[in-house]
């Protein structure tokens, strides 16, 4: 029987932004990994572009390259998805252990961050494990495996710039979804549109559009990730030592350098800071009303049976595939 | 967008209008490329994402149009992106025809040589940074009339090739400038597709008319085969295995000297190397820069312009970082 899951959450703009997410199997509530968090900090390695082409020689290179091959001509290798899920769960757990989150008085399902809320924060953790979520996105969007690695890179960059953007149970799914969408649009010649990604990822079309725009803005519209950096992310995934948003990597300093180069006028910078403060204030208003009014009993059921929809075609239609 | 004063509309693309405008603070002319985000299903168009991302990486070169900044605004309660570019008076198509259309009004050979050299430098810069342009045509090449400077623009179809990805689309490049491997359905192609386009543009500069003006993929291939001869396994290993290969009429290659009587021998040789059927044998941009056709060109003048521009840019960045 196919279950339909809703990511229910008060959106930043004061209305619910929930969307369907069809899953082939029942998914348990989000369970962070129990493995101990690693202390090894994450750095991107040499800034210089390799002249030797796409990848280094040797067995390590072959292993990394194998991770990026399209599995059976259909999608991302299960091993890569497993590695990413494990790394994210470890990072999420580490961030929780650092008491970035405190349980809300509203109920055990509601966890309100001590830092500022962003458009990526939900009201409660989505009831789907990260690995299941990754498998679902990979299965239906059929994006290049590289897109997931790029999404990780974006998450790391955000975490370095702003501790409030580190992955947590409340934001990790949306960060992953928006990052993968942007990476697919940037690198893949055939990709599905935002509405389709929203249906696959459990958010509405207006919300996925907001997530996309906000992630673009936070990344300063700089989406290209040099192969050298992606290779470094892959190596750390394989080694199990990926720590998101930690350490002064060259990409963080490059980010600052890039911003100084980007030619934005001072008035433009002022405008963007005003925009940020208006977002923050709207978040404050929403979080106050949420904690005051939401109760577990009032919360919409996260699952409901849907006997009619037992086909395996996935959400959306062929028209939603672009170019 | 108060920082810019629109002067006139100068073009219209798939996703919005292009305006000539003035930066209110500096008085400099800019081009504003408006990107509508009204397509709720699609979000930010991939062409816009790619153009922003690639140009931020490539704008250091004096032969790539400069993206000055990106402005995110709202118009009629709808989000809107403006890409702010340096302003150039004309594109190569208009520049070519300004003193009369057709072979009766040839361009001075040294002007042709300078334009081709600058085009190759721009393309080489893209390729050096792992970017395929994939839509090179006279309309996408901007010309500064005063400095006689050419700049590659419109990277909306561009793509990074330095990371391993899924197969590429064959719906790239305006038909007249499309390489035969793409027309024959190759799903993995590389930098030689851009060099074929450069060859077509060079031919058009010399002839003052398009070389292969096909109106369908089939007709396009016939145009090419009639002039360059029908390819075979001898001159293009693997051609008969391409998806859209079938038995074509057999033509012998024509002598390019008869087609381009005013082009010097070295120019004919360069063009022949750009029109090599086998992509592996086609001349690269890096090689083409050093071709003997350009021996009598004042390269130092072009290169000095580039170097000075980059030096100024670096000085700006250093000053900004010091503040």
Q: What is the pLDDT of residues A200-246, one digit of tens each?
A: 999 999 999 979 989 988 998 878 888 778 878 988 888 998 888 86
pLDDT digits (tens, 9 = 90+) for A157-211: 899 888 888 999 989 999 999 999 999 998 887 778 899 999 799 999 999 997 9
Q: Are residues B57 and B168 in the same domain?
A: no
pLDDT range class, residue B294, cuts 50, 70, 90? very high
> In this structure, are B197 and B102 located in the same domain?
yes
**pLDDT band at residue A260 under the 50/70/90 scheme:** very low
CB within 8 Å of chain A, chain B residues 255-314 = none
CA A264 – CA A67 distance, rounded (Å): 39
In terms of domains, do B274 and B196 share one? Answer: yes
A134 has pLDDT over 80: yes
Instruction: Out of A197-206, A256-265, A312-321, B73-82, pick the least confident.
Output: A256-265
Q: CB–CB of B56 and A187 under 8 A?
A: no
User: Using CA atoms, how far apart are residues B31 and B22, in angstroms rounded to an integer?
Assistant: 8
Mean pLDDT of A240-257: 60
Closest CA to A141 of A204, A194, A78: A194
CB of B27 less than 8 A from some CB of A:
no
Q: What is the pLDDT of residue B278?
A: 94
CB-CB under 8 Å, B169 with A265: no
Q: Are residues B184 and B223 in the same domain?
A: yes
Q: Do B53 and A209 touch (CB under 8 A)?
A: no
In a domain, B114, yes or no: yes
CA of A97 vs chain B CAs: smallest distance (Å): 36
pLDDT confidence of B77, banded at 50, 70, 90?
confident
Q: Which of B86, B121, B142 is the last residue of a domain?
A: B86
The last residue of one of the domains, among B60, B86, B112, is B86
Asked whether residue B317 is domain-assigned, the answer is no
pLDDT band at residue B277, thresholds of 50, 70 and 90? very high
Tokens of B82: 């403006």
- Quote the Cα angle for B29-B34-B36, to 5°: 170
**According to the model, what pLDDT value does residue B229 have?**
97
Q: What is the mean predicted confidence (pLDDT) over B191-207?
A: 94
pLDDT digits (tens, 9 = 90+) for B148-197: 899 998 776 665 565 554 455 544 557 899 899 999 988 767 989 899 99
Question: What value does the CA radius of gyration of chain A take, rounded to a whole number of Å?
Answer: 19
Distance CA B115, CA B152 (A): 11
CATH of the domain at B57: 3.30.200.20
Domain-located, residue B311: no
Is residue B314 domain-resident?
Answer: no
Q: Identify the residue with better confidence: A76 or B308.
A: A76
Q: Tokens in use for B19?
A: 């305006």
Whether residue B70 lies within 8 A of chain A, CB to CB, comes out as yes
Strand A101-103 with A111-113, pairing: antiparallel
Which of A185, A190, A224 lies at the smallest CB-CB distance from B169? A190
Regarding whether B203 and B121 lie in a shared domain, the answer is yes
Q: Judge if B167 and B145 occupy the same domain.
A: yes
Quote the CA–CA distance of A10 and A76 in Å, as a whole number: 32
Among the residues of chain B, which ranges form H helices? Answer: 46-58, 92-97, 109-128, 180-183, 192-207, 217-228, 256-259, 265-274, 285-289, 299-322
What secondary structure does DSSP assign to A190-208, as a single string?
SEE-HHHHHHHHT--HHHH
Q: For residue A58, is pLDDT > 50?
A: yes
Q: Based on the fold, state whether residues B62 and B128 are members of the same structural domain.
A: no
Quick one: pLDDT band at residue A315, thresholds 50, 70, 90? low
Report the C-alpha gap between B154 and B135 in whole angstroms: 8
Q: Does A214 touch chain B (CB under 8 A)?
A: no
From B23, B91, B135, B303, the catalytic residue: B135
Residue pair B141/B92 in contact (Cβ under 8 Å)? The answer is: yes
Q: Mean of the per-residue pLDDT values for chain B? A: 84
Q: Is residue B223 part of a domain?
A: yes
CATH classification at residue B263: 1.10.510.10
If asked whether residues B19 and B138 sit together in one domain, one would say: no
Q: What angle do CA B202, B208, B212 make, to 5 degrees?
A: 65
Local structure of residue B253 (DSSP, 8 states): P
Q: How many CB atoms lie within 10 A of CB B240?
A: 13
Find the angle CA(A126)-CA(A128)-CA(A131) to the nearest 5 degrees.
125
Q: Are residues B146 and B221 in the same domain?
A: yes
Least confident window among A266-270, B22-26, B175-179, B198-202: A266-270
How many separate domains does chain B show? 2
Tell me which residue of B171, B188, B66 sits closest to B122, measured CA to CA: B66
Q: Is B141's pLDDT higher than 90?
A: yes
Are residues B49 and A213, on separate chains, in Cβ contact within 8 Å? no
What residue in A sits closest to B162 (Cα-Cα)? A54
The answer to whether residue B322 sits within a structural domain is no
Do both B153 and B52 map to the same domain? no
To the nearest whole Å, the CA of B155 is away from the closest chain A CA by 12
Question: Is B135 noted as a catalytic residue in this protein?
Answer: yes
Domain boundary among B65, B86, B107: B86
Residues spanned by the domain of B67: 4-86
Is the domain of B60 the same as that of B97?
no
**Burial A59-71, CB ≥16 within 10 A → b, else e:** eeeeebeebbebb
Domains, in order of start, for chain A: 58-104+115-239 (1.10.472.10)
Quick check: is B318 in a domain?
A: no
Q: What is the pLDDT of residue B241?
A: 82
User: What local confidence, expressed as pLDDT, does residue A192 receive?
Assistant: 86
| Shared-domain flag, residues B233 and B272 | yes
Domain-embedded: residue B229 = yes
């Amino acid at each position: 029987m196919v279950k339909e899951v809703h990511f229910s959450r008060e959106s930043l703009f004061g209305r619910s932004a929930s969307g369907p997410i069809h899953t082939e199997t029942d998914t348990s509530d989000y369970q962070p990994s129990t493995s101990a968090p690693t202390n090894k900090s994450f750095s991107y390695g040499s800034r210089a572009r390799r002249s030797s082409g796409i990848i280094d020689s040797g067995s390590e290179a072959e292993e990394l390259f194998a991770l990026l091959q399209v599995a059976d001509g259909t999608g991302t290798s299960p091993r890569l998805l497993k590695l990413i899920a494990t790394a994210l769960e470890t990072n999420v757990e580490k961030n929780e252990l650092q008491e970035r989150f405190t349980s809300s008085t509203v109920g055990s399902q509601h966890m309100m961050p001590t830092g500022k809320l962003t458009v990526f924060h939900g009201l409660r953790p989505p009831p789907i494990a990260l690995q299941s979520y990754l498998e679902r996105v990979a299965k239906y969007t059929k994006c290049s495996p590289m897109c997931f690695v790029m999404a990780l890179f974006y998450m790391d960059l955000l975490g370095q710039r702003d501790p409030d953007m580190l992955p947590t149970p409340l934001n990790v799914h949306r960060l992953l979804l928006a990052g993968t969408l942007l990476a697919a649009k940037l690198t893949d010649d055939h990709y599905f549109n935002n509405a389709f990604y929203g249906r696959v990822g459990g958010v509405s079309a207006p919300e996925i559009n907001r997530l996309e725009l906000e992630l673009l803005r936070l990344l300063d519209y700089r989406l290209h990730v040099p192969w050298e950096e992606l290779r470094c992310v892959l190596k750390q995934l394989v080694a199990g030592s990926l720590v998101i948003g930690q350490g002064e990597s060259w990409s963080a300093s490059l980010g600052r350098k890039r911003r100084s180069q980007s030619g934005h006028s001072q008035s433009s910078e002022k405008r963007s800071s005003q925009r940020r403060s208006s977002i923050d204030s709207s978040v404050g208003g929403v979080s106050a009303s949420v904690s005051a009014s939401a109760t577990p009993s009032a919360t919409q059921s996260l699952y409901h049976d849907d006997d009619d929809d037992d086909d395996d075609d996935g959400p959306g239609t062929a028209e939603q595939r672009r170019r | 967008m108060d920082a810019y004063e629109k002067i006139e509309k100068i073009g219209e693309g798939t996703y919005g209008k292009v305006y000539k405008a003035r930066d209110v603070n500096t008085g400099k002319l800019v081009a504003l490329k408006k990107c509508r985000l009204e397509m709720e299903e699609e979000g930010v168009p991939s062409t816009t994402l790619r153009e922003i991302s690639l140009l931020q990486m490539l704008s250091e070169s004096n032969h790539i149009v400069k993206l000055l900044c990106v402005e995110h605004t709202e118009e009629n309660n709808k989000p809107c992106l403006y890409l702010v570019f340096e302003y150039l008076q004309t594109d190569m198509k208009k520049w070519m025809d300004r003193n009369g259309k057709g072979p009766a009004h040839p361009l001075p050979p040294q002007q042709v040589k300078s334009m081709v050299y600058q085009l190759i430098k721009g393309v080489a810069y893209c390729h050096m940074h792992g970017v395929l342009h994939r839509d090179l045509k006279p309309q996408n090449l901007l010309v500064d009339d005063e400095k006689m400077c050419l700049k590659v623009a419109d990277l909306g179809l561009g793509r990074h090739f330095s990371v391993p990805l899924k197969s590429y689309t064959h719906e790239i490049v305006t038909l007249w400038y499309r390489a035969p491997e793409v027309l024959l359905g190759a799903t993995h192609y590389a930098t030689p597709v851009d060099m074929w386009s450069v060859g077509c543009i060079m031919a058009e500069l010399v002839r003052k008319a398009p070389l292969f003006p096909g109106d369908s993929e089939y007709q396009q291939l016939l145009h090419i085969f009639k002039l360059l001869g029908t390819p075979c396994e001898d001159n293009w290993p693997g051609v008969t295995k391409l998806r859209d290969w079938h038995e074509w009429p057999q033509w012998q290659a024509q002598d390019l000297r008869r087609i381009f009587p005013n082009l010097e021998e070295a120019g004919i040789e360069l063009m022949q190397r750009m029109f090599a059927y086998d992509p592996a044998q086609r001349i690269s941009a890096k090689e083409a820069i050093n071709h003997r056709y350009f021996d009598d060109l004042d390269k130092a003048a072009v290169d000095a312009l580039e170097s000075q521009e980059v030096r100024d840019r670096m000085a700006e960045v250093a000053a900004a970082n010091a503040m």
